[in-house]
């Protein structure tokens, strides 16, 4: 059985896997994404979610980067989408890109600081350089709430100026 | 293909990482994402090429012929970095002459992904992006 998800840009994404809970959840989110009125802007989160769909579509096969990268799966998409949902308002928009292991990273750059968070199963893996010498990396348990450590870095170094 | 390079990559050498897809850089800002240097997940190696003594056309030709061509892709950009920027974060650059005498692998990546991300970010800070003028 194959599953076809219609994307907001009119293109479709097919998976050859059975209709699993992941597929159903992906389909539900797709419907929610498409149902937002065009006049209602969710700001960068809406754009970011659109980018996530692009990544899922473009990087769903092994070796998508030419260096034997693992495919981005519906499961890794959902992990990233969960993380996106939980990000606080008032921070700068992240750049979103797939990692070679098939998970998806959210990256921020601002005034000499860089920070990256990858969404894994119940885990966020992060690394950042803040200024010239202040470096941190590690992982934090993640279940639908941004951990304090990551929230601290985001709000301290990547706050959106009003 | 009779190029003779030193057996050891010293800190003064320059290496390049060819980029075949645009999620690893932003052309308009020159920003290089750390994913450009993250290693293959199965081998924990990052493939690079040694470019000392190469002309610009030759650098691009190596990337097209030995990296992008076999995959039926185009080299969109390359990242140039001096080897010392890689060695200084505790990684090594080991020559591996397959598929080309100038090929090498960045090795010594830690098992911990967060540590790999940090090292890749540090390398990016000292690297420069070159967009392929003839993609």
The reported pLDDT for the residue numbered A161 is 80
Q: So what's the ipTM on this one?
A: 0.91
Q: Which residue has the higher pLDDT, B25 or A34?
A: B25
Q: With pLDDT > 70 as the criterion, what percentage of chain B qualifies?
A: 98
CB-closest option in A55, A63, A116 to B117: A116
The reported pLDDT for the residue numbered B3 is 66
Phi-psi region of B92 (alpha: psi -120 to 50; beta: other; left: phi over 0): beta
Buried b (16+ CB within 10 A) or exposed e, A19-34: eeebbebbbebbeebe
Mean pLDDT for chain B overall: 95
Note whether B21 contacts A: Cβ–Cβ < 8 A. Answer: yes
Strands A104-110 and A113-120: antiparallel
First to last CA, chain B: 24
The reported pLDDT for the residue numbered A49 is 95
Q: Which residue has the higher pLDDT, B2 or B44?
A: B44
Tokens found for residue B69: 């061509």
Phi then psi dihedrals of residue A148, to 5 deg = -55, -40
**Contacts with A, B 24-63, CB within 8 Å:** 24, 26, 31, 33-35, 38-42, 47
pLDDT digits (tens, 9 = 90+) for B42-92: 999 999 999 999 999 999 999 999 999 998 999 999 999 999 999 999 999
The reported pLDDT for the residue numbered A28 is 66
B117 CB neighbours in chain A (<8 A) are: 105, 116, 118, 125-127, 137
Question: Does a cis peptide bond (omega within 30 degrees of 0) precede residue A110?
Answer: no
Query: What is the DSSP annotation of B38-83?
Result: PPPTTT--EEEEE-TT--HHHHHHHIIIIIIGGGT----EEEEEEH
The reported pLDDT for the residue numbered B56 is 97
- List, run by run, the mean pLDDT of 10-residue segments along chain A (162 residues): 38 48 69 52 84 96 93 97 94 96 97 96 97 95 96 95 75
């Amino acid at each position: 059985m194959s599953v076809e998800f219609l994307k907001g840009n009119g293109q479709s994404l097919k998976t050859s896997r059975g209709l699993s809970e992941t597929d159903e959840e992906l389909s539900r989110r797709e419907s929610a994404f498409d149902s937002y009125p065009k006049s209602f802007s969710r700001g960068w989160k809406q754009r970011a979610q659109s980018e996530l769909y692009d990544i899922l579509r473009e990087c769903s096969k092994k070796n998508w980067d030419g260096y034997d990268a693992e495919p981005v799966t519906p499961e890794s998409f959902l992990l990233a989408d969960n993380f996106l949902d939980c990000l606080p308002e008032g921070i700068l928009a992240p750049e979103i890109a797939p990692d070679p292991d098939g998970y998806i990273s959210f990256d921020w750059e601002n005034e000499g600081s860089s920070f990256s968070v990858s969404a894994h199963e119940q885990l966020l893996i992060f690394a950042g350089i803040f200024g010239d010498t202040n470096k941190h990396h590690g992982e934090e348990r993640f279940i639908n709430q941004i951990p304090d450590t990551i929230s601290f870095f985001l709000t301290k170094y990547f706050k959106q100026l009003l | 293909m009779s190029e003779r390079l030193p057996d050891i990559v010293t800190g003064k050498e320059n290496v390049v990482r060819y980029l075949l897809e645009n999620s690893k850089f932003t052309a308009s800002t020159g920003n290089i994402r750390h994913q450009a240097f993250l290693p293959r997940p199965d081998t924990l190696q990052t493939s690079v090429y040694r470019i000392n003594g190469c002309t610009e056309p030759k650098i691009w030709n190596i990337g097209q012929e030995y990296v992008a061509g076999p995959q039926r892709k185009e080299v969109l950009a390359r990242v140039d970095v001096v080897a010392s920027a890689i060695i200084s974060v505790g990684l090594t650059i080991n020559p591996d002459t397959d598929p080309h005498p100038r090929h090498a692998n960045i090795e010594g990546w830690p098992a911990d992904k967060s540590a790999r991300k940090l090292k890749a970010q540090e390398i990016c800070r000292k690297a420069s992006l070159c967009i392929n003028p003839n993609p």
